[in-house]
Amino acid sequence: MTVQGKNAIDVVLAESLKELSQTRPIEKITIKEITDKAGVIRPTFYNHFQDKYELMEWVITTELLQPMYPLIHAGMVTEAMVLMFTNIEKDKAFYSKAVKMEGVITFHEIAIKCAKEMLVKIFTEMKGDKEPTHKWLTVDIIATYYAQSMCFAVEEWISSGYVLPPREMAEAYDYIISHSLFDVMEEL
């Protein structure tokens, strides 16, 4: 199967999951329901994804993180966050359900894993051969920290009902990550 054909199936399966999530909790949706809705057979699903959680990873990575990658790599973090918040808002019905996932695997865990993978890649490329200023501050530690903060901001924004427009939310996120705890406390 060509890459284009594989991507088309991935998109169909993702859209099927999203549609089903409007009437059922994601953790209760079965692979059979996803494939029936998508009009494909179960083996087709397993040729693309191990389970629905890997499909969720694909959705987050493809729809949210990949579009951000060149912006973050170029140091345009606020613009990357505006893009991500905008893309979430475009599909707010799905993401509102996704953050409510319960069970063994949650949206929180999936989102952090995906964000961390992207950030590790970016930081590794940017770091080159340089040694860290502090031995404890490895690429992995830094990527984990920022993945958690990014996902926290996203989840709080979604859970609060998208109270701020994407640009304003991105600017709030930029403010908190670019100021020290002391600076923030001084301004309260």
Inter-residue contact 53 to 67 (CB < 8 Å):
no
- Write down the pLDDT at residue 96: 96
CA proximity to 56, closest of 24, 87, 26: 26
**What are the domain boundaries of the chain?**
1-49, 52-187
Percentage of the residues of the chain whose pLDDT score is greater than 90: 80
Report the distance separating Cα 144 and Cα 146, nearest Å: 6
Tell me phi and psi for residue 127, to 5 degrees: -65, -40
DSSP 3-state assignment of 24? coil
- pLDDT tens for 102-151 read 998 999 999 999 999 999 999 898 877 778 788 888 999 999 999 999 99
Q: Is the pLDDT of residue 1 over 80?
A: no
HSE-CB at 36 with a 13 A cutoff on CA atoms is 6
Q: What is the pTM of this model?
A: 0.89
Lowest mean pLDDT segment, chosen from 14-18, 41-45, 57-61, 179-183: 179-183
Tell me phi and psi for residue 137, to 5 degrees: -85, 70
Q: Quickly state the pLDDT bin for 3 (edges 50, 70, 90).
A: very low
Average pLDDT over residues 65-71: 95
Average pLDDT over residues 71-80: 92
CATH number corresponding to 52-187 = 1.10.357.10
- Write down the pLDDT at residue 87: 97
Q: What average pLDDT does the structure give for the chain?
A: 93
Average pLDDT over residues 11-40: 96
Tokens standing for residue 37: 């809705």
Domain 1-49, second-level architecture: Orthogonal Bundle (1.10)
Q: Quickly state the pLDDT bin for 52 (edges 50, 70, 90).
A: very high
Same topology, domains 1-49 and 52-187? Answer is: no
8-state DSSP, 63:
I
Percentage of the residues of the chain whose pLDDT score is greater than 70: 97
Alpha helix (H) residue ranges in 24-165: 31-38, 42-48, 52-59, 66-73, 77-90, 92-98, 107-127, 139-159
Report the distance separating Cα 181 and Cα 94, nearest Å: 33
CB neighbours of 58 closer than 8 A, spacing ≥ 6? Answer: 10, 14, 49
Inter-residue contact 174 to 78 (CB < 8 Å):
yes
| Angle, in degrees to the nearest 10, between helices 107-127 and 66-73 | 30
Average pLDDT over residues 155-173: 96
